[in-house]
């Protein structure tokens, strides 16, 4: 597995060169978004409302971090990924309309997202679920948060990260989906084991 460094802003050619199984590390600005934020983003896009941040070229991290505030400063204590599949209904549109080239999460994403990744040039990288303290070590700074009315887990957090990874590319921009392969293998073996 080749070790690849990506710096933000991430361009299409950066991700078109990636394939399932590649391992990447990301440096730069990253934005978190999960259930409620995705729902609101899509709603804002439908209503033609301006979003209070730019996702273009930045990784989108499925994460509801545990953050501590001391005075005016935020510190991230734990920031592992949340289950990405919950964002499947919205992610294709986010990729197509907001210029996101890298989705980071755990557990994989589905057909609709994979199709959007193929069309627009984006990939999905998996970080180890629950390795939250480990993840926090790569977060050098909290730039801020938007939509805190949604609560700490659901707000959009902006982090500066350095060599955040290893992110295993599990869905690439050519329709390959590693989780789907693992599932298919398990289904094939099921008849023998039940």
Given the structure tokens 């700074």, which residue do they identify? 141
How near is the Cβ of 30 to another protein at its closest, in Å?
Answer: 15
Binding-site size, another protein (CB under 8 A): 48
Can residue 193 be called a binding residue for another protein (CB under 8 A)?
yes
Tokens found for residue 28: 């730069």
Can residue 125 be called a binding residue for another protein (CB under 8 A)?
no
Q: Which of 17, 43, 134, 140 binds another protein (CB under 8 A)?
A: 134
Tokens found for residue 68: 């501590």
Q: Which of 41, 150, 169, 171 binds another protein (CB under 8 A)?
A: 150
For another protein, the binding residues in 68-97 under the rule CB under 8 A are 68, 77-80, 82-83, 85-86
**Piece of 50-58, 87-95, 110-118, 152-160 that binds another protein (CB under 8 A):** 152-160
Spot the catalytic one: 6, 29, 37, 38.
Answer: 38
Given the structure tokens 């627009």, which residue do they identify? 120
Given the structure tokens 């938007």, which residue do they identify? 146
Active site residue 38: yes
Q: Which of 36, 42, 45, 51 binds another protein (CB under 8 A)?
A: 36
How near is the Cβ of 25 to another protein at its closest, in Å?
Answer: 14
For another protein, the binding residues in 38-67 under the rule CB under 8 A are 63-66
Answer for the pair 180, 187: CB distance below 8 angstroms, yes or no: no
How near is the Cβ of 120 to another protein at its closest, in Å?
Answer: 24
Q: On the CB side of 80, how many CA atoms lie within 13 Å of its CA?
A: 11
Catalytic residues: 38
Contacts with another protein by CB under 8 A lie at 1, 36, 63-66, 68, 77-80, 82-83, 85-86, 106-108, 126, 128-134, 136-137, 150-154, 166, 168, 170, 178-179, 182-183, 185-187, 189-190, 192-194
């Amino acid at each position: 597995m080749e070790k690849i460094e990506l710096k933000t802003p991430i361009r299409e050619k950066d991700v078109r060169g990636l394939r399932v199984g590649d391992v990447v590390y990301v440096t730069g600005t990253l934005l978190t978004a999960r259930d409620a934020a995705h729902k609101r983003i899509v709603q804002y896009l439908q209503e033609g409302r301006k979003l209070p941040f730019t996702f273009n070229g930045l990784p989108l991290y499925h994460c509801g971090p545990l953050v501590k505030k001391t005075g005016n400063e935020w510190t991230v204590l734990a920031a592992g990924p949340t289950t990405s599949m919950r964002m499947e209904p919205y992610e294709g549109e986010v990729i197509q309309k907001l210029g996101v080239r890298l989705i980071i999460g755990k557990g994989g994403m589905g057909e609709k997202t994979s199709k959007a990744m193929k069309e627009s040039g984006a990939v999905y990288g998996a970080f180890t679920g629950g390795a939250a303290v480990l993840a926090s070590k790569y977060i050098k700074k909290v730039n801020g948060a938007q939509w805190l009315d949604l609560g700490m887990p659901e707000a959009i957090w902006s982090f500066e990260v350095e060599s955040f990874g290893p992110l295993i590319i599990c869905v690439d921009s050519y329709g390959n989906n590693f989780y789907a392969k693992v599932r298919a293998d398990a289904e094939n073996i099921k008849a023998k084991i039940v």
